[in-house]
Structure 1
Amino acid sequence: MSRPSTFSFSRLLIVHIVPLLALARVSVSLFLMPKTLVGLPDFDDGISLLGDATLAGAGSHVQVTRPSASSSGFLQWPMPFQFVDPSSASPTSFSSEFAFSISPGNSDGLALVLFPRDFKLGAEAFGLSGDHRFVGVEYDTSMNEEVGDVNANHVGVDLGNFRSVSVWNASSIGLVLSSGEKLKSWVDYDGSSKRLEVRLSKFGDPRPYDPIIAYSIDLLRMWRHKDVYVGISSSNGDSSQTISIYSWRFKLRKVAMSMHSLPADPHGYASEHGKLHKKGKCPLVILAGVIFATGCGALLAFLGLFLWAFFANRHTVFPVECPVHPADFKYEKINVVEGKDAEGGKH
């Protein structure tokens, strides 16, 4: 994260909305007259565009930052929500997916941010203070050693500050966030397992089964019954890097009380190390295993029957059939003549 103070909602307020409130601790609810997305097939209706964020490409996508230095923008989902259902006390889960591209350059990139209604804006990156109630998933294209960035090409989970508690190096699979290529990300939170998962792939590829980040955090314990907002934030610092959003969907899910599990960390809302948990086997893998085992069983059965038939037939004696043809036999009378003794004959 380059220069944490580069992009902030305070700057948005200074440049675009209410200059007199720039030095005050202003709630997000004070943003005035935002542009609103309605009727776009790839976006939820009611998403607000703040700062430099504007429709581009004949309405096909949102360009969050301009191709000039010190540009910043923000997309805000229209409705606040709570991580507990007031009527049933069931925890709330959410799923978010969005497609984006980041042009080459050295800037903060973008972040999916969750924050409560009464969160007070600060002067740090993305306009957020060190309040522990802030949660962000950053797609960072700058290297900032002060916050422990691994490189200028990583995805991380931030809690209240920009030293990521869990990081994934995009270079590990040859993916470059700031290549200008369209990418797609999925961010899911399960209220029962208290698990935040992040997935990323090239646009058009299927949703990956394994997450690149899986982090244990109890957002219900963190915010309880407070209203929470979600948005996508971006800034380009001193570069002319542009960030574009091609689609964004955000869905809430309620978890039945009978599905509750114990907290991932009963002593805190966040796991200290955000360990990656292995998930169960994929149904397709299980199906392939069953088919393979069935095939092997059938092959063994066939082989057994073949060997049984082979050895059983080796010891069987079959009668040899010879052709029989009728034949005629002729019988003749035989006369036996007894001659005289030759001793009296002349010599």
Structure 2
Amino acid sequence: MILIRSNIMLLTFLRVGTILFLLARSVVTDNINGFNFVYKNSNDSQLLGAREIQPDGQVFRTNETLESGVGHTFYSRPFRFKNSTTGDAYSFSSQFVFGMIPKDPQYAFHGMTFALAPSKAVTEASTSQHLGLFNRTNDGNTLNHIVALEFDTFKNLELGDIDSNHIGLDINSIVSVFATTAGFYDDNGVFNNLTMASSKEIRAWIDYDGVRKRLDVTLAPLQMMKKPGKPLASIPQDLSPYLLEEMYVGFTSATGVLVQTFYVVGWSFQINGKAQDIDISKIVPLPIKKKSTKTKTLIVALGSSLVGMVLILLASIFAFVLYQKRKRKFSEVLEGWEVQYGPHRFSYKDLYKATKGFKESELLGKGGFGQVYKGTLPELGVPVAVKKIWHESGQGMKEFVAEIATIGRLRHPNLVRLLGYCRRQGELFLVYDYMPNLSLDSLLFNSKSGVILTWKQRVKIITDVAEALAYLHEEWVEVIIHRDIKASNVLLDAELNAKLGDFGLARFSNNGTEAQTTHLAGTLGYIAPELARKGKATTGTDIFAFGAFCLEVVCGRRPVELQGRNEAVILVDWVLDCWFKEELLKAVDPKLKGDYDIEQLEVVFKVGLLCSHSCPSVRPSMSQVLKFLKGVEPLPEDFDAVLEIREDYSGRLGDASSSAYFSQIQYNTASAPITEAFNSSGR
């Protein structure tokens, strides 16, 4: 009997009968192209780590080092799956009997897979939704050469699952290329649902026709004596491009938030032939544990005496007081509409423990919208950053959490990954990946850090942030406006790669024109003029903030600096003044000590000034900014004239006409000079 166990606090386990090691096994057949065996003992013993099945039926522990929470079982030797001459995949067939036992019958979680893999050592596999097959880095990589059939009992919105009880064909990715609800067809061709996490044995048939290039999957209850005439799914799919000549066959699973146990009690497999039928008369019932009666017996025994009753009463009162105190301490808001965001929600109790009770020693930084703490979550096993902010609970909370869950699906190398959220009373917690070098702000302005960023590092950081914004504005399925671009929200990993973070203020926009909010948000010095007037955030207001950010990185000065009691220097205006006075080098961060590329310096300054232009329509898009920074496209020839328009914008052009006029401006060498367009407009 083979078991793969998913438990949040334990490794995934593989179980086999203890008598197996006394050679009391039942191996029906084993040949070069297949095998068939059934284990008959239900008095299982737990074995940790990865396992492999030997041709004689014994199961051995391997020396593989798996991530905590991942388990798998593979047949010890590979099978030849392809014709070396034609490159076509052979036909193959497999039968097995499996069962899923959730700890709580009301809740089921991530399932298991039947997998074909190039190696029986899937050491880089991750937990939870990756089912012990992939991780966030290699998911979708064509070099995986993994074909798997998932038996999933959880609806994961991030992966686009159809329901919480389905089978799916996974090719090199945990996102299924085909999925259908689990069930079977009876003799009359009527479909019947089949709940996989029912604590009952289920038979599965997997048949691949190498000639027709078709994969048939059939399920049925164990008590159904014969294979249904109609398969559950008949998938037209050529597996030849994805399989190597030799592949291993087995099962995988991984830990999840809820406890669920998986059994495979009989298994047969055959290349170029039909897998032998499993003798179901030899299948023993799943070891469903009965509830212990020891507690009830103890209560009855204590209740028989007055002393026992008094002790129980005192213990109950004490336990109730502790429970109420603990309940108040870890109480949080949880409403019915949040069920669909389950994978993105963390419990307050877990975050409290991870940050050592939000101790001051774990504090990474403070900002206008909250505090950030370092913590380690047992489920993830890696450091995380927990931002604690206040959010007004009300009608907007449901929409806000929906946006947070969607933003959690963003995947880009220059975005800090938002792992999830938690809300409790008037507090909201956002959980991000932890960045060891903290924020760019701390390196630019904290002399105690001892780090002075070089010119190349600064240009790389600016380009990284531009890549992230181009993804948010133009490349994802919806336009996302960040609304709070600044140095303190740009985090640096161990290699000083920049990652844009803190999506606490981010909003979706209406085709990029304006975000659905009327509240002014942002940081002084990064706020565009039209945002201050109208309070409407757009991609253009993000680009203005990016321009101020560029100048901040090059100059090593904050966007707004106080001089004296009542005077403030605006960085954008100061750099603009230096430009017209031809004293641009005066604006460069003196810590660079002249170690920079003059031509590249001029490009970055121009990009910063152009993006922070007071007229929104003059600002380039982020894809254009990337072309400027990478030297793919030159900046406007009459750049000085573009900056001079800044002075005339508010007085000479009204809001209604500005958009139509400036839409004529295009940033390429073929476009007419901007001054000509300005003069020809008749203004």
**TM-score range with shorter-chain normalisation?**
0.5 to 0.7
The answer to whether the aligner puts 1:228 opposite 2:230 as a matched pair is: no
Q: Distance in 2 between matches of 1:185 and 1:160?
A: 22
SS of 1:146 mapped into structure 2: helix
Task: Read off the aligned partner of 1:93 and give its amino acid letter.
Answer: S
Q: Which residue in the other structure is 1:83 paired with? A: 81
Q: Distance in 2 between matches of 1:160 and 1:246?
A: 27
Q: Distance in 2 between matches of 1:62 and 1:148?
A: 34
Task: Read off the aligned partner of 2:206 and give its amino acid letter.
Answer: V
User: Residue by residue, what CA displacement relative to the aligned partner does 1:72-103 show, whole Å, maximum 9, x if unpaired?
Assistant: 53221222123224489775211111101101
Q: Distance in 2 between matches of 1:149 and 1:37?
A: 43
Pick from 16, 31, 43 the counterpart of residue 58 of structure 1: 43
Q: Distance in 2 between matches of 1:199 and 1:231?
A: 18
SS of 1:222 mapped into structure 2: coil
Task: Read off the aligned partner of 1:207 and give its amino acid letter.
Answer: K
Give how far 1:250 is off: 0.9
User: Residue by residue, what CA displacement relative to the aligned partner does 1:129-178 show, whole Å, maximum 9, x if unpaired?
Assistant: 33332111011011100101111111111111122111111276231111
The answer to whether the aligner puts 1:167 opposite 2:179 as a matched pair is: yes
Report the number of matched residues.
215
Q: Distance in 2 between matches of 1:152 and 1:252?
A: 32
The answer to whether the aligner puts 1:141 opposite 2:160 as a matched pair is: no
TM-score with structure 2 length normalisation?
0.28
Q: Distance in 1 between matches of 2:166 and 2:85?
A: 40
Q: Distance in 2 between matches of 1:183 and 1:121?
A: 29
Q: 1:118 to 1:73 in 2, by over 3 A?
A: closer
* 1:6-21 correspondence to structure 2 within 5 Å: none
Task: Read off the aligned partner of 1:210 and give its amino acid letter.
Answer: K
Whether contact under 8 Å (2:182, 2:219) holds in the other structure is no
Task: Read off the aligned partner of 2:241 and give its amino acid letter.
Answer: R
Q: Distance in 1 between matches of 2:45 and 2:209?
A: 31
The answer to whether the aligner puts 1:103 opposite 2:101 as a matched pair is: yes
SS of 2:260 mapped into structure 1: coil
Whether contact under 8 Å (2:182, 2:194) holds in the other structure is yes
Q: Distance in 2 between matches of 1:116 and 1:238?
A: 29
Q: Distance in 2 between matches of 1:36 and 1:151?
A: 40
Q: Distance in 1 between matches of 2:150 and 2:206?
A: 11
Q: Which residue in the other structure is 2:114 paired with? A: 112
Q: Distance in 2 between matches of 1:227 and 1:179?
A: 35
Q: Which residue in the other structure is 2:92 paired with? A: 94
Q: Which residue in the other structure is 1:40 paired with? A: 25
Q: Distance in 1 between matches of 2:118 and 2:177?
A: 20
Q: Distance in 1 between matches of 2:230 and 2:47?
A: 29
Q: Distance in 1 between matches of 2:96 and 2:147?
A: 17
* 1:1-347 correspondence to structure 2 within 5 Å: 40-41=25-26, 57-58=42-43, 72-86=70-84, 91-104=89-102, 105-117=107-119, 121-124=123-126, 125=130, 126-128=132-134, 129=138, 130-132=140-142, 133-170=145-182, 173-205=192-224, 206-224=226-244, 226-253=245-272
Whether contact under 8 Å (2:69, 2:255) holds in the other structure is yes
Task: Read off the aligned partner of 2:133 and give its amino acid letter.
Answer: G
Q: 1:81 to 1:144 in 2, by over 3 A?
A: same
Q: 1:117 to 1:144 in 2, by over 3 A?
A: same
SS of 2:241 mapped into structure 1: helix
SS of 1:117 mapped into structure 2: coil
Comparing both structures, which one devotes a greater share of its residues to helix? 2
Q: Distance in 2 between matches of 1:249 and 1:71?
A: 27
Whether contact under 8 Å (1:55, 1:63) holds in the other structure is no
User: Residue by residue, what CA displacement relative to the aligned partner does 1:234-254 show, whole Å, maximum 9, x if unpaired?
Assistant: 234122211111101111117
User: Residue by residue, what CA displacement relative to the aligned partner does 1:300-341 show, whole Å, maximum 9, x if unpaired?
Assistant: xxxxxxxxxxxxxxxxxxxxxxxxxxxxxxxxxxxxxxxxxx
SS of 2:272 mapped into structure 1: strand
SS of 2:162 mapped into structure 1: coil
SS of 1:221 mapped into structure 2: coil
Q: Distance in 1 between matches of 2:121 and 2:47?
A: 26
Whether contact under 8 Å (2:122, 2:133) holds in the other structure is no
Question: Which segment drifts farther, 184-193 or 109-118?
Answer: 109-118
Whether contact under 8 Å (2:95, 2:205) holds in the other structure is yes
Task: Read off the aligned partner of 2:256 and give its amino acid letter.
Answer: G
Whether contact under 8 Å (2:97, 2:267) holds in the other structure is yes
Q: Distance in 2 between matches of 1:251 and 1:121?
A: 26
Q: Which residue in the other structure is 2:449 paired with? A: none
Q: 1:118 to 1:62 in 2, by over 3 A?
A: closer
Whether contact under 8 Å (1:63, 1:243) holds in the other structure is no
Give how far 1:59 is off: 6.1
Alignment identity in percent? 28
Give how far 1:123 is off: 4.3
Q: Distance in 2 between matches of 1:45 and 1:37?
A: 19
Instruction: State which structure, 1 or 2, has the greater radius of gyration over its C-alpha atoms.
Output: 1
Task: Read off the aligned partner of 1:213 and give its amino acid letter.
Answer: A
User: Residue by residue, what CA displacement relative to the aligned partner does 1:161-201 show, whole Å, maximum 9, x if unpaired?
Assistant: 12211111127623111111110101111111111111100
Task: Read off the aligned partner of 1:115 and give its amino acid letter.
Answer: A
Q: Distance in 2 between matches of 1:242 and 1:169?
A: 21
Whether contact under 8 Å (1:107, 1:236) holds in the other structure is no
Whether contact under 8 Å (1:56, 1:63) holds in the other structure is no
Whether contact under 8 Å (2:146, 2:243) holds in the other structure is no
Task: Read off the aligned partner of 1:81 and give its amino acid letter.
Answer: F
Q: Distance in 2 between matches of 1:101 and 1:85?
A: 34
Task: Read off the aligned partner of 1:244 and give its amino acid letter.
Answer: Y
Task: Read off the aligned partner of 1:177 and give its amino acid letter.
Answer: M
Q: 1:88 to 1:56 in 2, by over 3 A?
A: same
Task: Read off the aligned partner of 1:221 and give its amino acid letter.
Answer: P
Q: 1:36 to 1:239 in 2, by over 3 A?
A: farther
Give how far 1:221 is off: 3.0
SS of 1:156 mapped into structure 2: strand
Q: Distance in 2 between matches of 1:200 and 1:120?
A: 27
Task: Read off the aligned partner of 2:228 and give its amino acid letter.
Answer: P
Q: Distance in 2 between matches of 1:36 and 1:232?
A: 21
Give how far 1:116 is off: 1.5
Q: Distance in 2 between matches of 1:175 and 1:61?
A: 29
